[in-house]
Amino acid sequence: MSIHISAEKGQIADKILLPGDPLRAKFIAENFLEDSVCFNEIRNMFGYTGTYKGHKVSVMGTGMGMPSIHIYARELIVDYGVKKLIRVGTAGAIDPDVHVRDLVLAQAAATNSNMIRNDFPEFDFPQIADFELLDKAYHIAKKYGMTTHVGNVLSTDVFYSNKPERAMELGKLGVKAIEMEAAALYYLATQHKVQALGIMTISDNLNDSSEDTSAEERQTTFTDMMKVGLETLIAND
């Protein structure tokens, strides 16, 4: 067991989906995995392992924000040997050409967090996705006819910003969406030489709030990213 995960060695697959919402992890396990078994309930951060098309796959919630995903993803990598990690979460569109329910594949993640700056104060160290996972996810999404955008996202430390217009300026520069976890996940993957990717469903449009979705919709209806994530994890296994 690690500090925050109660699984025994071997209970977690070497490939995993990481939704922020633990109830989305439960939904994925119940609707996509066969013979799923819960390996973690500590702090109600549910984690499950089962099979998808005959491949052993895990899914676990990470909570909201970079400190939270950093804790869980690091323990999964260091203590349980996970090699492929795909975030399947929600994001808010800031690019005018990105709309609710579109998929965004985070090729890179800009951030206002000090998590990386604390280690490298003299550099703007870019956080990038694993290209192999990104390439596979893009072609899988296009095969299924899903509206998919590839590009930069902003991983922010603040959900309720006092200066939202600053993020909107990035949208004008082609940043697709704003979210809260990808940069930390990518930094961990770089440090530990594992593969990571962020696949986000747009749940809110900061340019047009009339498109926004409900909490229940976010939990149970964003199945496109779940399917793409799972197919990407098992591709060429």
87 annotated as a binding-site residue: yes
166 appears as a binding residue in the annotation: no
pLDDT over threshold 90, residue 211? no
User: According to the annotation, is 180 in a ligand binding site?
Assistant: yes
Q: Is 130 annotated as a binding residue?
A: no
Residue type, 47: G
Asked if residue 73 has pLDDT above 90, the reply is yes
Whether the per-residue pLDDT at 207 is higher than 90: the answer is no
Read off the pLDDT of each residue in 25-37 and give the average, rounded to a whole number: 97
- 132 labelled binding-site residue: no
Looking at the chain, the whole-number percentage of residues with pLDDT higher than 90 is: 85
* Residue 48 φ then ψ, to 5°: -140, 150
Please, what is the average pLDDT of the chain? 94
* 30 marked among binding-site residues: no
What is the band of 81 on the pLDDT scale with cuts at 50, 70, 90?
A: very high
Q: What is the pTM of this model?
A: 0.95
Q: What does each C-alpha distance from 61 to 23, 24, 54, 117, 218 come to in angstroms?
A: 8, 7, 22, 26, 14
Cα gap 68→229, rounded to integer Å: 21
At 47 the three-state DSSP class reads strand
Distance CA 36, CA 52 (A): 10
Q: Which residues belong to the active site?
A: 204
Report the distance separating Cα 219 and Cα 23, nearest Å: 7
Helix (H, G, I), strand (E, B) or coil at 134: helix
